[in-house]
Amino acid sequence: MTTIELPTRQRVDRLERMWQPEPGVLGWLTTTDHKRIGLLYFWTTLVLFGLGGAEALTMRTQLASPNNNVVGPSTYDQLFTMHGVTMIFFFIIPMTTGAFGNYLIPLMIGARDMAFPRMNALSFWVFLASGLFLYIGFAAGSGPDGAWFGYVPLTTRAFDPGRGEDFYALAIIFNGISSSLASANFIVTMFKMRAPGMSFNRMPTFCYAFLAASFGLLFALPALSADCIYLWLDRNHGTHFFDVAKGGSTLLWQHLFWFFGHPEVYILIVPAFGIATAIIPAFTQRKIVAYPLIAIAELLVVFIGFGVWAHHMFTVGLPTITVVFFAAATAMVVIPSAIQVFSWCMSLITGMPRFKTPLLFIAGFIFMFVNGGLTGLMFVAIPFDQQVHNTYFVIAHFHYIIFGAAVFPIFGGMYYWFPKVTGKLYLERPGQISFWLIFVGTNLLFFPMYIVGLLGMPREIYTYAPSTGWSAYNLAETIGGYLTAFGILALLGNLVVSYRRGEPAGPDPWNGPTLEWATSSPPPEYNFAVIPTVTSAYANWDVADRERDARNLADGAMVLDQGHETAVSSVADGRFSEIVEMPHSSPWPPILAFCLAMVFTGLVIGKIGLAAIFALLCLVSLGGWHWKEPQEA
């Protein structure tokens, strides 16, 4: 058979030709390559992060002194609503899952792409469209102003007659479609596309984290979609889901919202835990302590997280037995988090830590996460929760968690994988400086919020009186905010300069433990010339297996170059099951995303006919998508 006879160079050339992307802008528009999609997500979320940050800085400037008038209440209310929605739905989730997850997971499991490459592209274009949808509404003066948690009746048409909350409800449903598709894709990819030999107990902990987050999103998002459907119907079609006078319920909104909302906050941080457990082994040159405990803990955090939602509702007047149950469940979720914290610390202590910039961010992450986690633990005490609920104490808690436990690992991950994605090394000294600026800035920004919350400062207020005694703390927080922003600009500036002037990195500058370091920097379109041999969870440290790959390439084995091919394995044991032809580039994902965007546009401007026409066009696009099967392309 011809597969064995071609020499190595020709085999690689053949792979290069099979996997060649379309050139130019068209190539980016029609891409199904997980790495390109990851990069598209990365740049888009950075822009949205900037917008969310600008919203935050504007609020901090307004609050820097009492009775200030940088912005009035209407603008301020839109700012904190947009800030929350942007940072959660349009920054953290797409940056972790869309950028890091997309780029790295197929590489880490030794695959050539995700299980559903075109659906992966669709997730990105739908995400981009949903972001544009929300921000065009905001720019046009119809920004939502009901806070990110949108409680009724404040967000019903009776109390919020503009279009802002319609943009809110529809943008969230729209964005949820992107995340649900992406979650399904990640789960199936990690189940089926692992390199043969990679059984579940050899899958990197990074992947376990993303698996947990994906299951979380899949089961949590529908509750939020249901809530937003009710809100949109009540606001626009006269239904009475939330109308107490007609048999509806105010608390219905809150129960469904937090049933989604609590798992959501674990979904925000669990992928970042995965980044931390990927970085620690590389910079300590030892395997992570207690791998099985970490893997289970990551899944448990999300699983238990589905049972605690009413701890956001301790002041609404639920029966005591109910609140006590939810406090007990919340206490349980602390345990898997504590397991992970001690695993990370012990890995650092018993390894050979090199505190380069990525590890500095992870150390900072551990510090910030434990801080926020401990104040979260305080909320298990129901009466204490009922004192500080809705004050700045809570804002401090969740920003220590979200900024500390999600954003710090994201920054660390940017530095860690910068060489892999660009082929260049980042500049180390400026990297460390950017860490310290951000670390000092965020602590100055968020720590005083604990104090001012205990002094009674409520959330969501556009100003306060000088007699409250909150002024000095607020000023310090604002200074911290600007310092943080400066540090982030320094970080981004460092990455830009490093891209221009960095030293060549080579495939593996860190001696990293996972398979992305076994291929070139940046990886070729097909990721691996040979489907890797895997016999442990730290595949790149298994020298014998990597040598086996080189021999396979020379022999022409496991190259899979008869088409646009990749390997599929069984779920639990990773036994080699079949070889499938993958879709290559396709125009249908952006087309379908556009049609879907027009459906939502029609709904938000009240033109149901327009929405219906484009819904039909969505079905037509799906037909076009499935017209040619992968082997016919």
Residues 231-250 interacting with another protein (rule: CB under 8 A):
233, 237-241, 243-244, 246-250
Q: How many residues does the chain have?
A: 633
Q: How far is the CB of 531 from another protein (least distance, A)?
A: 8
Q: How far is the CB of 492 from another protein (least distance, A)?
A: 26
Would you count residue 606 as binding another protein (CB under 8 A)?
Answer: no
Using CB under 8 A, which residues numbered 239 to 298 contact another protein?
A: 239-241, 243-244, 246-252, 255-256, 285-287, 289-290, 293
Cα 188 to Cα 193: distance, rounded to the nearest angstrom: 8
Identify whether the C-beta of residue 122 lies closer than 8 Å to the C-beta of residue 174.
no
Q: How far is the CB of 43 from another protein (least distance, A)?
A: 28
Of the two residues 502 and 574, which places its CB atom closer to another protein in the complex? 574
SS3 482: helix
Cα 513 to Cα 206: distance, rounded to the nearest angstrom: 11
Would you count residue 187 as binding another protein (CB under 8 A)?
Answer: yes
Would you count residue 613 as binding another protein (CB under 8 A)?
Answer: no
**204: phi > 0 → left, psi -120 to 50 → alpha, else beta; which?**
beta
Of the two residues 222 and 423, which places its CB atom closer to another protein in the complex? 222
Residue among 265, 112, 259 nearest 189 (CA): 112
In the numeric block, which tokens belong to residue 577?
């099951």
Using CB under 8 A, which residues numbered 292 to 351 contact another protein?
A: 293, 315-317, 320, 323-324, 327-328, 331, 334-335, 338-339, 341-343, 345-351
Of the two residues 39 and 147, which places its CB atom closer to another protein in the complex? 147
Using CB under 8 A, which residues numbered 209 to 228 contact another protein?
A: 218-219, 221-223, 225-227
Candidate residues 161, 354, 554, 605; the one interacting with another protein per rule CB under 8 A: 354
Q: How far is the CB of 579 from another protein (least distance, A)?
A: 5
Would you count residue 50 as binding another protein (CB under 8 A)?
Answer: no
Would you count residue 543 as binding another protein (CB under 8 A)?
Answer: no
Of the two residues 27 and 624, which places its CB atom closer to another protein in the complex? 624
Of the two residues 424 and 542, which places its CB atom closer to another protein in the complex? 542
Identify whether the C-beta of residue 277 lies closer than 8 Å to the C-beta of residue 284.
no
In the numeric block, which tokens belong to residue 143?
């920004």
Of the two residues 14 and 287, which places its CB atom closer to another protein in the complex? 287
Measured CA distances, 495 to 147, 364, 424, 584 (Å): 34, 20, 10, 31
At residue 236's C-alpha, the angle toward residues 610 and 149, to 5°, is 110
Of the two residues 316 and 554, which places its CB atom closer to another protein in the complex? 316
Cα 633 to Cα 631: distance, rounded to the nearest angstrom: 6
Stretch that binds another protein, among 6-14, 189-197, 411-419, 589-597 (CB under 8 A): 189-197
Measured CA distances, 158 to 161, 253, 257, 602 (Å): 6, 16, 20, 22
Would you count residue 436 as binding another protein (CB under 8 A)?
Answer: no
Identify whether the C-beta of residue 392 lies closer than 8 Å to the C-beta of residue 452.
yes
Candidate residues 46, 54, 425, 454; the one interacting with another protein per rule CB under 8 A: 454
Would you count residue 32 as binding another protein (CB under 8 A)?
Answer: no
Of the two residues 367 and 486, which places its CB atom closer to another protein in the complex? 367
Would you count residue 55 as binding another protein (CB under 8 A)?
Answer: no
What's the N-to-C CA distance of the chain in angstroms? 24
SS3 5: helix
> What is the distance of C-alpha 6 from the center of its chain?
43
Would you count residue 196 as binding another protein (CB under 8 A)?
Answer: yes
Q: How far is the CB of 525 from another protein (least distance, A)?
A: 19
SS3 291: helix
Would you count residue 200 as binding another protein (CB under 8 A)?
Answer: no
SS3 252: helix
Of the two residues 302 and 560, which places its CB atom closer to another protein in the complex? 560
Q: How far is the CB of 405 from another protein (least distance, A)?
A: 13
**390: phi > 0 → left, psi -120 to 50 → alpha, else beta; which?**
left
Measured CA distances, 352 to 283, 347, 428, 448, 541 (Å): 7, 9, 19, 35, 16
DSSP assignment of 178-224, as one string?
HHHHHHHHHHHHHHH-SPTT--GGGS-HHHHHHHHHHHHHHHHHHHH
Identify whether the C-beta of residue 312 lies closer than 8 Å to the C-beta of residue 261.
yes
Binding mask 86-125 for another protein (x = CB under 8 A): -----------------------------xx---------
Using CB under 8 A, which residues numbered 564 to 583 contact another protein?
A: 565, 567-571, 575-581
Helices (H) and strands (E) in the chain, counts: 22, 2
C-beta atoms surrounding 200 within 10 Å: 17
Candidate residues 13, 503, 562, 607; the one interacting with another protein per rule CB under 8 A: 562
Would you count residue 535 as binding another protein (CB under 8 A)?
Answer: no
Of the two residues 57 and 455, which places its CB atom closer to another protein in the complex? 455
Would you count residue 21 as binding another protein (CB under 8 A)?
Answer: no
Using CB under 8 A, which residues numbered 129 to 148 contact another protein?
A: 147
Would you count residue 382 as binding another protein (CB under 8 A)?
Answer: yes
Using CB under 8 A, which residues numbered 466 to 505 contact another protein?
A: 466-469
Of the two residues 342 and 436, which places its CB atom closer to another protein in the complex? 342
Would you count residue 542 as binding another protein (CB under 8 A)?
Answer: no
Element (H, E) at 569: strand 565-569
User: Dihedral through CA 45, CA 175, CA 297, CA 108, nearest 10?
Assistant: -60
Of the two residues 43 and 436, which places its CB atom closer to another protein in the complex? 436
Using CB under 8 A, which residues numbered 391 to 420 contact another protein?
A: 391
Q: How far is the CB of 423 from another protein (least distance, A)?
A: 26
Q: How many residues belong to the site for another protein (CB under 8 A)?
A: 145
Q: Is 629 exposed, middle or buried (0-12, 13-18, 19+ CB in 10 A)?
A: exposed
Of the two residues 226 and 425, which places its CB atom closer to another protein in the complex? 226
Of the two residues 7 and 23, which places its CB atom closer to another protein in the complex? 7
Of the two residues 46 and 454, which places its CB atom closer to another protein in the complex? 454
SS3 17: helix
What is the DSSP secondary structure assignment for residue 152, as one 8-state letter?
T
What is the DSSP secondary structure assignment for residue 99, as one 8-state letter?
I
